[in-house]
Amino acid sequence: MAGEPQADCLFCKIVAKEVPATIVRETGTTVAFRDINPQAPTHVLVIPKVHYPDAAALAAAEPQVIADILRESREVAAEDNVEDTGYRVVFNTGSGAGQTVFHAHLHVLGGRGLQWPPG
């Protein structure tokens, strides 16, 4: 069922504290943790505690939760001291865009120059 935890989802297991992660922030609706394969000095994933396969599905079903994720991305940037120097927020939606875990999540990247267009 949409929004319900999925037994085979890595991020649902992180939310449930069944899989360890370096959690940097947690709210009633979100969890933020360090990426295990960082692409920048700051590389934190912000995920909803509810399960939706991607950002588009989450936005359609629970727009307040996607707003919570965006708000938390700013908090992560502030705590990692990249808010003033610049940071990027990325939602990869679908395997063609690089999504590998099909639980909606936002990447917060910063701490180095980020080129445009992205690769």
C-alpha 76/C-alpha 119 separation (Å) is 24
Tell me the one-letter amino acid at 110: G
Q: Is 51 a catalytic residue?
A: no
Q: Order of strands, edge to edge, in the sheet holding 87-90? A: 23-26, 30-34, 42-48, 106-110, 87-90
The catalytically annotated residue of 51, 103, 105, 107 is 105
Nearest 5°: the CA angle 46, 51, 56 is 75
Point out the residues that are catalytic.
105
